């Protein structure tokens, strides 16, 4: 009865709207025509906005039922670390719930500056600047660094925040094939030599789980006079001798001009940063609009990130365990016959290809107690739909084997692995 009444009200509203705009185009037309989400809800394969009731990181509770979490970026398992939680509580008591303003005006604290100093030292750069979101880092930094008339070379599988940063900059965007250095070299060689240029890449690609060829990228940057920026959202805490990221992992920190990272993965919080030369960071501090015109990170978040960074440096065994887990799961999935692409990180895709089969397998896995993320176009190229799985240092072997058993049984049902 309620649903019928709701539909009647909706139809009356649409009829009224149509009369109002009968002589004019209506920007809401695309919204009234959007039915994909409701269709997915009606057929039980809508995979988004699942309401988590409780979590201990490796498990989450959905509708009163615990499931193993393989859809998180909590790589080192620090979101529930007692010391991280305590640091947040202490900051909450000292500073309150928020700063109610931008860092430029009234939202800067000694905690923010301490975090910037420690991040710069950690990744091997002179200076760093903290933003309130990782998305905002890429949007603000790219738009402040390049502009109309400049050239920016971007991997075709770079994150959406890089794509939008380039759009916002109004620079001329030139895509190169994923991790294809020959294609990039050709495009650099053929571009206008009188235009300034920058290369931007993910460190670990967020859907495929493979790693950028950063030494080759830096060589090309030097050869063709380009600056280079690496997005280490998924690499910070994961790659490098001490978790410093892709550049340290591949031995080219000094050749990489800008290193970007986020706090919402290994650092167990929210926000992001950019690190580079002091003069460059000072310029960005006064020109990156997404930092200047965004409310400052709450001190509670800054304090928890500071503590998480400290734990990463003090407990290298977490990173060792993370790699043990992801290498075990990847080798087992491949042994079963699953296609995990070129993954070489804690992000392990199960490539399926067809959208509905991806959604159906996602639903079957969730019913079996395994939380994964179905990913379809435009997040991945058409015809390359996949289940994105990601792993934590705190996953136990028992949990991983439980998930592998579910993958094996359900994969056979959908013809994705060997019998």
- Residues with catalytic annotation? 206, 234, 265
Which residue pairs from 330-337 have beta carbons closer than 8 angstroms and sit at least 24 positions apart in sequence? 332/404, 333/404, 333/407, 336/404, 336/407, 336/408, 336/411, 336/417, 336/418, 337/411, 337/416, 337/417, 337/418
Respond yes or no on whether the N-terminal peptide bond of residue 14 is cis (omega within 30° of 0): no
Residues in contact with 52: Cβ distance below 8 Å, sequence separation at least 6, in sequence order? 60, 61, 62
Strand order in the sheet with 65-69: 54-55, 59-62, 65-69, 370-371
DSSP bridge partners of 173? 152
Mapping DSSP onto H, E and C, the string for 330-369 reads HHHHHHHCCCCCCCCCCEEEEEEECHHHHHHHHHHHHHCC
Instruction: Note whether 362 and 369 are within 8 A (CB).
Output: no
370-371 and 172-176 beta bridge pairing: unpaired
Distance CA 356, CA 369 (A): 20
DSSP bridge partners of 155? 176
Instruction: Note whether 316 and 280 are within 8 A (CB).
Output: no
Helix axes 299-314, 317-336, angle to 10 degrees: 80
DSSP bridge partners of 201? 230
């Amino acid at each position: 009865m309620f649903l019928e009444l709701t539909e009647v009200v909706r139809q009356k509203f649409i009829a009224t709207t149509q009369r109002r705009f009968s002589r004019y185009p209506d920007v809401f037309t695309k919204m009234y025509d959007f039915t994909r989400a409701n269709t997915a809800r009606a057929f039980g394969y809508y995979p988004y906005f699942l309401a988590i009731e409780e979590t201990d990181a490796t498990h989450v509770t959905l509708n009163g039922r615990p499931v193993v979490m393989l859809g998180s970026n909590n790589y080192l398992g620090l979101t529930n670390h007692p010391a991280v939680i305590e640091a947040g509580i202490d900051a909450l008591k000292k500073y309150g719930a928020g700063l109610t303003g931008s860092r430029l005006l009234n939202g800067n604290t000694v905690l923010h500056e301490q975090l910037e100093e420690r991040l710069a030292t950690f990744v091997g750069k002179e200076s760093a600047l903290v933003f309130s979101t990782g998305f905002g880092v890429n949007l603000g930094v790219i738009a402040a660094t390049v502009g109309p008339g400049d050239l920016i070379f971007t991997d075709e599988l770079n994150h959406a925040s890089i794509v939008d940063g380039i759009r916002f900059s109004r620079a001329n965007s030139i895509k190169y094939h994923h991790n294809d250095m020959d294609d990039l070299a050709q495009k650099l060689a053929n571009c206008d030599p009188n235009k300034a240029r920058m290369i931007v890449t993910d460190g670990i690609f967020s859907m495929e789980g493979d790693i950028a060829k950063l030494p080759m990228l830096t060589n090309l940057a030097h050869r063709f006079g380009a600056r280079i920026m690496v997005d280490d959202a998924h690499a910070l805490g994961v790659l490098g001798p001490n978790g410093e990221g892709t550049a340290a992992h591949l031995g080219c920190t000094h050749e990489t001009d800008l290193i970007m990272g986020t706090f919402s993965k290994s650092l167990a919080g929210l926000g992001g940063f950019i690190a580079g030369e002091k003069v460059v960071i000072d310029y960005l501090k006064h020109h990156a609009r997404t930092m200047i015109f965004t409310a400052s990170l709450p001190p509670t978040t800054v304090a928890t990130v500071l503590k998480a960074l400290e734990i990463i440096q003090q407990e290298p065994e977490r990173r060792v365990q993370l790699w043990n887990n992801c290498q075990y799961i990847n080798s087992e999935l491949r042994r079963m016959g699953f296609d995990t692409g070129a993954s070489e990180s804690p992000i392990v895709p199960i490539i399926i290809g067809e959208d509905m089969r991806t959604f159906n397998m996602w639903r079957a896995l969730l019913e079996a107690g395994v939380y994964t993320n179905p990913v379809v176009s435009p997040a991945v190229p058409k015809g390359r739909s996949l289940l994105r799985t990601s792993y934590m240092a705190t996953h136990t072997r028992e949990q991983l084997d439980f998930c592998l058993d579910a993958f094996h049984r359900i994969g056979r049902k959908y013809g994705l692995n060997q019998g």
